[in-house]
Structure 1
Amino acid sequence: MIVTLVLGTLIGYSLGVEAANFFTGMREQSLLSSPLRRVLSVMVISLIPGFGATFFFLYQSRMADVEAHAETLRRQAAETQLRLLESQLEPHMLFNTLANLRVLIGMDPARAQTMLDHLIAFLRATLAGSRAERHPLQDEFARIADYLALMQVRMGARLRFDFDLPETLADVTVPPLLLQPLVENAIKHGLEAHVGGGTLRVRAARDGDDLLLDVEDNGAGFDPSAVPTPGGGFGTTQVRERLAVACGPDARLEIRRREGGGTLARIRMPVPAPAPAA
């Protein structure tokens, strides 16, 4: 770079003097035939801005490379954390289901067999799709439906559920199993604790540039200000961490009591791009 600047200054100055002499008729001395003092003065005056501009753009380029590398490392760390959180969630859900199945085997073997069939179908679908970073919202709702079918075998008529997924949001992508912990909490804290059971509603809606995902029940209700029991709070903590990793600070989870009883858990996140066509 230094050689290029020096040669460029010498050649550029000399060509400039020759061009000026040609158009003006003057006989200005070229740099090569000028006194050494003049040569040094011209070189210093010319090279200072040249070196300054060179180092400025070199610094900018290196800073861009460093930032790109840091962003790659941040993305890799976020993806690793997301995989870890998913690996924690799947056994958590499975252990809960197996514990329920164990109780049901002694009480009603026929219903236990039906529940086991649902569990096999649910795990097959989960293992096939849970290794992706994101999947369409319609797939998320389908898995929730499989899981609720499992719970309905055990709870019977005490568990009712309905879904509201607009067609325009069906292909919007979300992290897999994002709603699973909220559905589990709604059953555990809301519907199972309620003598008459209740209805679980899972909804998706758009609010401007935000996607709203609601898990709502009309059961016993959950107090979000209550101190969690040891080992509790896994579901909501897991959802918040996954939102932070996958969507950044613009995504959040809100939990509040419903008027008339029950709980509403709402995820608010930026609307991501639809899943690419297969």
Structure 2
Amino acid sequence: MAYSAAAPLRPSWMSQQSARLLAIIIVAPLASMATAVITQGPHVFSYLQSVEMLTGHILMVVLALVFGLVMAMLAMRGERKERERADQLQVALEKNRLERELLDARLRLLQAQIEPHFLFNTLANVEALVASGSPNAGLVLRQLIAYLRAAMPQLNDADATLGTELQRVRAYLELMHMRMPDRLQFTVPELPALADLRFPAMALLTLVENAVRHGIDPSMAGGRIEVGGQSVAGKVMLWVADTGVGIAETAQPGTGLSNLRVRLQAFYGSGTRLDLHEQAPHGVRVELHFTPMDTK
């Protein structure tokens, strides 16, 4: 009780540790005397007149002081370790918060680079369609406007999911199919089991755009784009496969693919992989391997 009461009752000029030790030094003899009074009652003075009893009482006071001070120092040592552990935890939490803020800023920077890249490439496709005098140019432009109106407000959504990303991919491929209906076929499944998975906006769309631009567009015969995904033992694999011209005739990866690697590793961790495989007889398959974060 003295140990606990010393800290809040101590004078401002005295340290907490000194106040606690002084309280035990003062209270130990008083507690021993109180024990003698309680046990002996009105015979306490005759009890202490005995040399043997007085010696025992003094010994009890010494033991109370020794054990009291030892236990107090052990308790203060434990409190000091707990404070140090709490301070270390606070520093770790602050470091983690700063790292998360830095990661968010980095993701926003990379995404800001990808968004114009996607928009300008799409507008270039529409420009080529208009320049060719296609009667579908007006319809395609209206579809592009509708797509951008639906997609652009969600591009900076920190809580974007794979389900919304698949919707964007489907809308983009429908737009590209209108531009080249005889040369592009595609499959984009719903993937209901992975729909609520947190997923960086435009990550999958970047792969689909590369498949159109570097795989289907250069091919006179066109081809097919297949988007898919699966989850096995807590690991997720997504893929975009095309039957276009293949890796040998494909241009070197540009800003979109380079930034995508960095974004995915920043979003899911260093274990994330982006693999490119050549398909037979021709085409490219790009696979994303990662461990998902918490679902929305």
SS in 2 for 1:221: coil
- Equivalent pair of 1:14/1:30 in contact (CA under 8 Å): no
The structure with the largest alpha-carbon Rg is 2
Which residue number corresponds to residue 265 of structure 1?
Answer: 286
Q: Label 1:106 to 1:166 Cα distance change in 2 as closer, same or farther (>3 A).
A: closer
Which residue number corresponds to residue 211 of structure 2?
Answer: 186
Do structure 1's residue 6 and structure 2's residue 21 form an aligned pair? yes
Q: Give the whole-Å Cα distance in 2 for the aligned partners of 1:240 and 1:12.
A: 68
Q: Give the whole-Å Cα distance in 2 for the aligned partners of 1:12 and 1:64.
A: 36
Q: Looking at both structures, which has the greater relative contact order when contacts are Cα pairs under 8 Å and sequence separation is at least 6?
A: 1
Which residue number corresponds to residue 274 of structure 1?
Answer: 295
Which residue number corresponds to residue 160 of structure 1?
Answer: 185
Do structure 1's residue 93 and structure 2's residue 93 form an aligned pair? no
Tell me the alpha carbon deviations over residues 219-250 of structure 1, each in whole angstroms, 9 at most, x when there is no partner: 111259x9x75xx4322211111111211123
The one-letter code of the counterpart of 1:123 is: L
Runs of at least 5 residues in structure 1 that lack an aligned partner in the other structure: none
Which residue number corresponds to residue 263 of structure 2?
Answer: 242
CA drift at 1:260: 2.4
CA drift at 1:185: 1.3
Q: Label 1:215 to 1:29 Cα distance change in 2 as closer, same or farther (>3 A).
A: same
Which residue number corresponds to residue 139 of structure 1?
Answer: 164
CA drift at 1:151: 1.6
CA drift at 1:110: 2.9
Give TM-score, length-normalised by structure 2. 0.78
Q: Label 1:46 to 1:257 Cα distance change in 2 as closer, same or farther (>3 A).
A: same
- Equivalent pair of 2:155/2:202 in contact (CA under 8 Å): yes
Give TM-score, length-normalised by structure 1. 0.83
- Equivalent pair of 1:223/1:256 in contact (CA under 8 Å): no
Q: Give the whole-Å Cα distance in 1 for the aligned partners of 2:163 and 2:35.
A: 74
Tell me the alpha carbon deviations over residues 144-199 of structure 1, each in whole angstroms, 9 at most, x when there is no partner: 11111222222221011011233222222211111111111111221112221100
- Equivalent pair of 1:144/1:180 in contact (CA under 8 Å): yes
The one-letter code of the counterpart of 1:69 is: E
- Equivalent pair of 2:129/2:179 in contact (CA under 8 Å): yes
May I ask how many residue pairs the two structures share in their alignment? 266
Which residue number corresponds to residue 240 of structure 2?
Answer: 215
Q: Give the whole-Å Cα distance in 2 for the aligned partners of 1:109 and 1:14.
A: 104
- Equivalent pair of 2:237/2:288 in contact (CA under 8 Å): yes
Q: Label 1:17 to 1:132 Cα distance change in 2 as closer, same or farther (>3 A).
A: farther
Q: Give the whole-Å Cα distance in 1 for the aligned partners of 2:180 and 2:195.
A: 29
Which residue number corresponds to residue 58 of structure 2?
Answer: 29
Q: Label 1:109 to 1:193 Cα distance change in 2 as closer, same or farther (>3 A).
A: closer
CA drift at 1:134: 2.9
Which residue number corresponds to residue 128 of structure 1?
Answer: 153
Alignment of 1:95-114 (within 5 A): 95-114=120-139
Q: Which moved more, 1:188-197 or 1:50-59?
A: 50-59
- Equivalent pair of 2:189/2:228 in contact (CA under 8 Å): yes
CA drift at 1:272: 3.5
Which residue number corresponds to residue 105 of structure 2?
Answer: 80
Runs of at least 5 residues in structure 2 that lack an aligned partner in the other structure: 1-15, 40-46, 48-52
Q: Give the whole-Å Cα distance in 1 for the aligned partners of 2:182 and 2:29.
A: 95
Do structure 1's residue 115 and structure 2's residue 130 form an aligned pair? no
